Structure 1
Amino acid sequence: MSRIAPSVAAAAATAFVVSALLSACTAPVTDSRTDTGVPASPTPTKTASPGAGDSTAAATEAVLVVAAVDADGRNVTASGYVQGVVTDQGTCVFTFSRNGSSFTVDHEATPDRSTTSCGTVQVPIASFQRGAYEVTVGMTVGGTPSTSPSTTLVIP
């Protein structure tokens, strides 16, 4: 009988645990019904309609994606885009600055699905001296200039 008692006790414990778990699955569900038995509905709220003076246009922001020396060391490549506007009317300007002097490379802006692409420019490495340059991309949209934050490019 001593062999049967432990297995019966284990079976009883297992049945108790399974029963407790199943009862949790079938616990009563509370319903947010009103006293009339009709399901409660959310209270409608007013939302403001955009007025004539409201601006729905997103602010434009120039983004420099990359500025790096190519793997073969022959060129510097830079690319970027302007978010907040989709246009083919404009020119992107890549600016390379060092020690108070700078030079620019222009590239025609082209519309993308949700941005204006500034494309990719390649500048021969001979146009640079060894050292650090600050690189930005910018574009003027509707009379308002937008310039990316600068990125440091090191020419070896």
Structure 2
Amino acid sequence: MSAMLAACTPQPGGSSADQASSQPSTSSVPSKPSPTPTPTVTVEPVLVVASVDVDGKHVTASGYVQGVIQDGGACTYTFTREGSPAVKVQHEGVADRSTTSCGEAQPDIAQFTRGSWQVTLEYVSDGKDYVSTPLAVEVP
């Protein structure tokens, strides 16, 4: 019987596993993980091109919205020139692989007077309004 008791009692020079199990635990209570910061996403309409078509019949602009991928937002291309009425073309945003595409606007050149115009791309979704940096278009 003494052999059974000896097996249950730590012996001097025993294995480290035996010594570790007989030692009181010194580990601390795990702390709550710190919250992961939420990355801020910048939603920004981007004009890719704004020019008069080679055939001279249309003014073309195209763009997309970075920072959001969704169907259904309103994309509005607005062409402005001091002293002339604004020309607006609206498209519905379409989700693509990494952005929201606003397609292409091709208003007839007859809507424009000669000179320098500015075009912006505005995107409205979920009550929020975003506007691109304007690009210049020279209408001959």
Alignment-derived partner of residue 84 in structure 1: 67
CA RMSD of aligned residues (A): 1.7
CA-to-aligned-CA distance 1:53-104 (integer Å, 9 cap, x gap): x543512000011110000101111100000000102110000011054221
TM-score by length of 2: 0.71
Alignment-derived partner of residue 95 in structure 2: 111
Distance, in Å, in 1 between the alignment partners of 2:107 and 2:51 is 10
Q: What is the percent sequence identity of the aligned residues?
A: 46
Contact 1:93 1:106 in 2 (8 A): yes
Distance, in Å, in 2 between the alignment partners of 1:132 and 1:111 is 32
Larger RCO of the pair (alpha carbons < 8 Å, separation 6+)? 2
Does 2:51 correspond to 1:68?
yes
Distance, in Å, in 2 between the alignment partners of 1:60 and 1:90 is 12
Distance, in Å, in 2 between the alignment partners of 1:120 and 1:148 is 15
Select the residue among 56, 63, 71 that pairs with 2:39. 56
- Which structure 1 residue ranges, 4+ long, deviate > 2 Å from structure 2? 54-57
Distance, in Å, in 1 between the alignment partners of 2:124 and 2:49 is 20
Deviation at 1:142, TM superposition (A): 2.5
Contact 2:74 2:125 in 1 (8 A): no
| 1:126 match: secondary structure | helix
Distance, in Å, in 1 between the alignment partners of 2:40 and 2:90 is 26
Gaps of 5+ in 1: 1-46
TM-score by length of 1: 0.64
Gaps of 5+ in 2: 1-32
Cα 1:141–1:56, aligned 2, differ >3 Å: closer, same or farther? farther
Distance, in Å, in 1 between the alignment partners of 2:102 and 2:66 is 11
Does 2:111 correspond to 1:130?
no
Q: Match for 2:60: what amino acid? A: T
Aligned residues: 107
Q: Match for 1:152: what amino acid? A: A
Q: Match for 1:90: what amino acid? A: G
Contact 1:57 1:84 in 2 (8 A): no
